[in-house]
Amino acid sequence: MKIGGVPLFPQQADTGAAGVDMVALVVCAICGLLALGVLVAVVYFLIRYRAGSDVNRDNPPEGHLPLELSWVGGAVVLSLVMFIFGARAYYDLRVAPTDSFEIEVVGRQWMWKIRHPSGRREINTLHVPLGTKIKLKMISRDVIHSFYLPEFRTKHDVLPGRYTDLWIEPKKLGRFTLACSEYCGTDHSRMKGEVVVVTPEEYESWQALSPLTSVQRGERLYLKMACDSCHEYQDGQVVSGAPLLDGIYGSTVGLEAGGSTKVDDDYLRRSILRPKAQVVAGFQPIMPTYEGRLSEEELLDLIAYIRSRSGSTVDDGGKK
Amino acid sequence: MKTHLLVWLSLMLLLGLTVVAWQYHLGFLMALAIAVTKAALVIAFFMHLRKESPLTKFVAGAVLFWLLILFGFTLADYFSRLGF
Amino acid sequence: MKDYLYEDVSLKSWLLTTDHKRIGILFLLTITFFFIIGGVAATLMRMELATAPGDLVSADVYNRLFTLHGTVMVWLFLIPSIPATLGNFLLPLMIGAKDLAFPRLNLLSWYVFLFGGLLTLWSIIIGGVDTGWTFYTPYSTTYTNSHVIMMAAGIFIVGFSSIFSGLNFIVTVHSLRAPEMTWTRLPLFVWTLYATSLIMVLATPILSVTLVLIAAERLFGVGIFDPALGGDPLLFQHLFWFYSHPAVYIMILPGMGVISEILPCFARRPIFGYKFIAGSSLAIAVFGFLVWGHHMFAAGQSLYAGLVFSFLSFLVAVPSGIKVFSWTATLYKGSIRFDTPMLYALGFMGLFTIGGLTGLFLATLAVDVHLTDTFFVVAHFHFIMVGGMLMAYLGGLHFWWPKMTGKLYPETLGRISAVLIFLGFNGTFLPQFILGYLGMPRRYYAYPEQFEFLNVISSAGAVLLALGYALPLAYFTWSLIKGRPAGADPWNAAGLEWKVSSPPPHHNFETIPVVEQPYRYPRPGHE
């Protein structure tokens, strides 16, 4: 729909977009009817009961309990209808299917860095294969940003210090908008880019052009930072008191301070940056901090590598 | 005057208890419980809530309830986020 | 006997006055000053947005402009607007009291407000703040190098003015009502002031604490919000919206009260559903505290918290629905006159209804994910704040202007201004709903070409709107000198404030006034 070359409705590029638009239309219909009802009543009363008109004005009611209560009841019921529609669609929007293909996003003032599993990286452009469920694992290097894809009807804030996610399933080939929608400083309005939806075959050949996968980069980093001097067996012996990394991802570990935690991406990230905060039960807090020594990208590489040691290729939130 | 002195003494006692609780690692719930008791004593005696009108008591209770809303809903987000 | 304006005309008598009426006038002058500053910023923003590329000002200047606009309009205009001016002036008159319960606290409230306001202004003069009025962390605490602490200090101080006024109003309503002024005879405006005061007293301290934490984080790096120090930036959003969502009701509730006074007077019949309207004000004050999380559906809040907050947000819409219903029913079997205050009130009803209903889009989880942080949100809250509160404020000002000054304003110009503002407002903000759904994020100073057409309409509407605001400023000032004398009761209205002369004498009532049922229209013996 266009007026004078101006579209009045954004394209639907995601399989979920129609669902969101549907909910919006339901809300729109309910609100439209209510607004129309008020408008018609007000205009009718204003004309009919204008001063000087010759109409019956005997005993204007000062209240009408059944009418008022049924209005309240009706409003509650309509609210529930809208809530349920919205909540169902929200659940679908927020909870990524477990078999999603994972792409990583690092936001910073003022650009988006995108990292594909093959190791291919790009800036402010996101290549995605058509018809594939894609989960974006996102983190910010500095302030809060928001990854907004209007044609996909979804967005989520990208926080520093914690991974958040967003999932899409492109159903249309072409180029679509990517924008930052959480105010992030001077060039907030320039922090935008494109989503390029290509066929799965094109995507395959596109992302194959990459020197190293993130797992490979992570492994190099792992050796370079000498993580293996503590976290590995040598001749069947743990060298230093550190948990072995094989199979740890997705498991639940007891903590030295009591309680337990799932080993997911966020836990791994915290344990690298602030190792003493949540020490695994039975170990000493001897690991040095890597705060300030690793970039968000390097952390993602390391986590990808540690995950691969547990045979996991996607962030399933530790749900196994 | 005598009540005030007694309340003051029990506050000092509770203060000592806080230190002891810390030394024996009794956890933050214990510390919180002691702090709440102390606050209750101060409000009831030093701030005279005990002898105030029901309306004032109602207001004090309402404010406490309102504070619970702030803490409750915020913590609800944190707990459901961490998957407790 | 001289009235409160001419009893003593020295500057000293104004600056040391404890008369609630004079303090109301002092607030009126102060917030008008701040409104003009906020308005100039808005004008510059709309000029910048008239074209797609960022060409008029730089990005940094634009970011400072919208921060200035938001901060000044929210804290220095909207929050004190009706309560501190009309509320201060009318509350004692309406309940048959000689003044507020704590007249000197009332004066202090004004001085504190002025000081905090000037401090905020100072932070703008020395370079401004570029965080947006929301001060989201960690941008505000760690990354920006603008004058956040100075502005936070200003708002911190202004907060005390809110608390003082709220406290004063609550005590006054409880203890200074005239002998026969029972709770069910209170004018509905007083009910809304009471509900507003509750929110002011309960919510404002949380804002103060949050601002102190921001300053502490900036100055000492305490690490409450900074994830690099183990803090959580979302905690700030929780604390901020715990104040700032109820603050929206601080801004709209008194407006609802004003409308509830104007409608029966110009429909010449009692208000419909008095108890429902009074009760819904209290319900809004209470439920308003339970919904803040709907600002964070896409911010990293947990799924389950989102569900709870969405559900509660729908419920808080119900009391507002009750009010719109009752106002509409008040027109039934009336004898409706279309004087200026009534035109403003009708404008309010239309715009507030749209503002409220579009709020339901944002309470709906899945739709909010698409719309949050876009121009849809901007349009929605301007419909509530400007279309709602500002229309009500101007309506109330036109309604009680004869009482406050003893002078009549030119009626024709008044009607023209009401119509101009209504049209200009819709021109400005209706296109922004479409822009939002199309996906134009807010706080963008340059935007893609495809959004230009709708932005041009919006900017054109803003011109009309600015003209509409300039009119009352001009003819109100003119009426002070040349306006015809109003007499005690130009509208033939019910309510104690119309029983005293205009302007009212220093101590309002010489004898204890006789209280009757509220909204006794048509006036017995007059019509």
Closest residue of chain C to A292, computed from CA coordinates:
C228
Q: Which residues contact C482 (CB under 8 A, 6 or more apart)?
A: none
Are A101 and A135 in contact, with CB atoms under 8 Å apart? yes
Amino acid at residue number C32: T
Judged by CB atoms closer than 8 Å, whether chains meet at B73 and C308 is answered as yes
Judged by CB atoms closer than 8 Å, whether chains meet at A5 and C453 is answered as yes
pLDDT confidence of residue B84: 39
Judged by CB atoms closer than 8 Å, whether chains meet at B63 and C304 is answered as no
Closest residue of chain B to C307, computed from CA coordinates:
B77
Amino acid at residue number A163: Y
- Chain A residues whose beta carbon lies within 8 Å of the beta carbon of residue C233: 144, 159-161
- Chain C residues whose beta carbon lies within 8 Å of the beta carbon of residue A61: 272, 329, 332-333
Residue from the list B63, B66, B76 with its beta carbon closest to the beta carbon of C305: B76
pLDDT confidence of residue A126: 94
Q: Which residues contact C62 (CB under 8 A, 6 or more apart)?
A: C45, C48, C54, C445
CA dist C247 and A151 (Å) reads 33
Chains that touch A (3 or more CB pairs under 8 A): C
Closest residue of chain A to C62, computed from CA coordinates:
A186
End-to-end Cα spacing for chain A: 46
- Chain A residues whose beta carbon lies within 8 Å of the beta carbon of residue C234: 159
pLDDT confidence of residue C526: 63
Mean pLDDT, contiguous 10-residue spans, chain A (320 residues): 70 90 93 94 94 88 90 92 93 89 92 90 92 94 94 94 92 94 92 93 87 86 85 68 82 83 88 87 85 88 88 50
DSSP run (H or E) holding A192: strand A192-198
Judged by CB atoms closer than 8 Å, whether chains meet at B66 and C289 is answered as yes
End-to-end Cα spacing for chain B: 48
Query: What are the pLDDT tens digits along chain C (527 aa)?
Result: 578 888 888 899 999 999 999 999 999 999 999 999 999 999 999 999 999 998 889 999 999 999 999 999 999 999 999 999 999 999 999 999 999 999 999 999 999 999 999 999 999 999 889 999 999 989 999 888 889 999 999 999 999 999 999 999 999 999 999 998 999 999 999 999 999 999 999 999 999 999 999 999 999 988 899 888 888 999 999 999 999 999 999 999 999 999 999 999 999 999 999 999 999 999 999 999 999 999 999 999 999 999 999 999 999 999 999 999 999 999 999 999 999 999 999 999 999 999 999 999 999 999 999 999 999 999 999 999 999 999 999 999 999 999 999 999 999 999 999 999 999 999 999 999 999 999 999 999 999 988 999 999 999 999 999 999 999 999 999 999 999 998 889 999 988 999 999 899 988 998 888 888 888 888 776 66
- Chain A residues whose beta carbon lies within 8 Å of the beta carbon of residue C448: 177
- Residue A6 CB coordination number (10 Å): 16
ipTM of the complex: 0.90
* CATH number for the domain formed by residue range(s) A101-208: 2.60.40.420
Q: What is the 3-state secondary structure (H, E, C) of A200-233?
A: HHHHHHHHHCCCCCHHHHHHHHHHHCCCHHHHCE
CA dist A84 and C358 (Å) reads 17
Contact residues, A window 79-138, toward C, CB-based 8 Å cutoff: 79-80, 82-83, 85-95, 109
| C299 in reach of chain A (CB within 8 A) | yes
Are C319 and C285 in contact, with CB atoms under 8 Å apart? no
CA dist C107 and C250 (Å) reads 21
CA dist C483 and C475 (Å) reads 9
pLDDT confidence of residue B25: 72
- Chain B residues whose beta carbon lies within 8 Å of the beta carbon of residue C293: 73, 77
Judged by CB atoms closer than 8 Å, whether chains meet at B73 and C202 is answered as no
Task: Quote the tokens at residue C63.
Answer: 């970011």
Are A107 and A178 in contact, with CB atoms under 8 Å apart? no
Residue from the list C202, C234, C304 with its beta carbon closest to the beta carbon of B80: C304
Judged by CB atoms closer than 8 Å, whether chains meet at B77 and C293 is answered as yes
pLDDT confidence of residue A7: 73
B82 pLDDT tier (thresholds 50, 70, 90): low
Closest residue of chain B to C297, computed from CA coordinates:
B77
CA dist A102 and A200 (Å) reads 14
Q: Which of B73, B79, B82 to mutate to test the interface with C (most CBs of C within 10 A)?
A: B73
CA dist A67 and A51 (Å) reads 26
- Chain B residues whose beta carbon lies within 8 Å of the beta carbon of residue C239: 74
Q: Does domain C11-498 have CATH number 3.90.950.10?
A: no
Phi, psi of A255 (to 5 degrees): -110, 150
Are C307 and C296 in contact, with CB atoms under 8 Å apart? no
Q: Partners of A165 in the beta sheet?
A: A137
Nearest to C305 by CA among A314, B39, B77: B77
CA dist C114 and C76 (Å) reads 9
Judged by CB atoms closer than 8 Å, whether chains meet at C305 and B69 is answered as no
Q: Chain C closest CA to A30's CA: distance in Å?
A: 9
CA dist C253 and C235 (Å) reads 27
Domains in chain A: boundaries: 2-48+65-94, 101-208, 214-308
Q: Chain C closest CA to B29's CA: distance in Å?
A: 20
Q: Chain A closest CA to C457's CA: distance in Å?
A: 12
Closest residue of chain C to B60, computed from CA coordinates:
C202
- Chain A residues whose beta carbon lies within 8 Å of the beta carbon of residue C321: 71-72, 75
Are C424 and C468 in contact, with CB atoms under 8 Å apart? yes
Judged by CB atoms closer than 8 Å, whether chains meet at C308 and B81 is answered as no
Closest residue of chain C to A30, computed from CA coordinates:
C357
Instruction: Compute the mean pLDDT over every residue in chain B, rounded to the nearest whole number.
Output: 86
Chains that touch C (3 or more CB pairs under 8 A): A, B
| C130 in reach of chain A (CB within 8 A) | yes
Is the preceding omega at residue C292 within 30 degrees of 0, hence cis? no
Judged by CB atoms closer than 8 Å, whether chains meet at A189 and C443 is answered as yes
List residues in chain B touching C: CB distance below 8 A: 63, 66, 69-70, 73-74, 76-78, 80-81
pLDDT confidence of residue A312: 66
Closest residue of chain A to C439, computed from CA coordinates:
A150
Nearest to A304 by CA among A173, A121, A172, A128: A121
pLDDT confidence of residue B27: 73
- Across the A/C interface, how many CB contacts are shorter than 8 Å? 272
Are A191 and A35 in contact, with CB atoms under 8 Å apart? no
What CATH number matches the domain at A214-308, 1.10.3720.10, 1.10.760.10, 3.40.50.10860, 1.10.10.1400? 1.10.760.10
Closest residue of chain A to C443, computed from CA coordinates:
A183
| C309 in reach of chain A (CB within 8 A) | no
Q: Is C494 helix (H, G, I), strand (E, B) or coil?
A: coil
CA dist C462 and C413 (Å) reads 19
CA dist C69 and C40 (Å) reads 8
Are C344 and C394 in contact, with CB atoms under 8 Å apart? yes
| A60 in reach of chain C (CB within 8 A) | yes
Are B77 and B46 in contact, with CB atoms under 8 Å apart? no
CA dist C418 and C425 (Å) reads 11
- Chain C residues whose beta carbon lies within 8 Å of the beta carbon of residue B73: 238, 290, 292-293, 305, 308-309
Give alpha helix (H) positions in C5-86: 11-15, 20-49, 59-71, 79-80
Largest CA distance in chain B: 51
Judged by CB atoms closer than 8 Å, whether chains meet at C364 and A24 is answered as yes
| C453 in reach of chain A (CB within 8 A) | yes
Judged by CB atoms closer than 8 Å, whether chains meet at B77 and C289 is answered as no
- Chain C residues whose beta carbon lies within 8 Å of the beta carbon of residue A57: 269, 333-335
Amino acid at residue number C103: P
Give alpha helix (H) positions in C50-147: 59-71, 79-80, 88-95, 103-125
Burial C122-143 (b: 16+ CB within 10 A, else e): ebbeeebbbbbbbbbbbbbbbe
Q: Partners of A145 in the beta sheet?
A: A158
DSSP label of C203: H
CA dist A138 and A112 (Å) reads 10
Are A11 and A151 in contact, with CB atoms under 8 Å apart? yes
Judged by CB atoms closer than 8 Å, whether chains meet at C353 and A8 is answered as no
Give alpha helix (H) positions in A11-97: 17-48, 65-94
Q: Which residues contact B40 (CB under 8 A, 6 or more apart)?
A: none
- Chain C residues whose beta carbon lies within 8 Å of the beta carbon of residue A30: 360
Give all strands of the β-sheet with A134-140 in edge-to-edge order.
Answer: A121-123, A111-115, A101-108, A134-140, A164-168
